[in-house]
Amino acid sequence: MYKHILFATDLSEETDFILAPVRGMRGYTGAQLSLIHVVEPLPGYSYAYLGIEDIEEQLIDEAREALAKLGEKLTVQKDHQWIEIGPAKTKILKIADEVKADLIICGSHGRHGLSLLLGSTANAVLHGAKCDVLTVRLPDNGI
C-alpha cells in the first residue's frame, strides 16, 4: 500500500485530467500527498532577447500561485508543495527521494515520431525513479 504520493504537475490546463486519478489513488490508499512543479531555467541569452531580467522570477511567482490553488483543490498543505528550478526529471526524482515517495503520479501525452525518440519528462522519471510511477495519459489536443 502506498504511504506517500508525489504528484508532479506542469500546471497546464491538462492538469485537471489527472486530478481524478490522484484523488482516487489518495482515497484508496490514504497516502500523504505532495505536489511538485519544476520551472525549467531560461537560457541566459533569452533575457537579452526578451528585455526582461526578472522573467524567471515572474515564472516562479506564477507557478507558486498556481500550485497553491492546486493545493487547495487537493487539500495539500503548503509544506507539502514544492516549486523547484532546474531539469524536471532531476528535481522530481530529488523531491521524491527527500519525501520518501513510494508513488509518483504525472501526466504523459501519447508520443510518436521524433517525440518518441527524444523521450519526455514522464519517460525520464519512469526510468529514473526508485519507486512506482503512474503516468496518466493526457489528451493529445491534435498534436
Residue ranges covered by each domain of the chain: 4-138
C-alpha cell at 2: 502506498
Calpha distance 92→83 (Å, rounded): 10
Beta strands 103-109; 4-8: pairing state = parallel
The Cα 138–Cα 143 span in angstroms is 11
Q: Is the pLDDT of residue 99 over 70?
A: yes
β partners of residue 35 = 7, 81
Confidence band for 72, pLDDT divided at 50, 70 and 90: very high
For 108-121, the pLDDT digits (tens) are 865 544 444 445 88
Beta bridge partners of 38: 84
Output the average pLDDT for the chain: 86
Q: Which residues pair with 135 in a beta bridge?
A: 106
Q: Which residue has the higher pLDDT, 50 or 133?
A: 133
Q: Does domain 4-138 have CATH number 3.40.50.620?
A: yes
For 73-84, what is each residue's pLDDT tens digit? Answer: 999 999 999 999
- In the prediction, which pLDDT does 118 show? 41
Residue 41: predicted pLDDT: 78
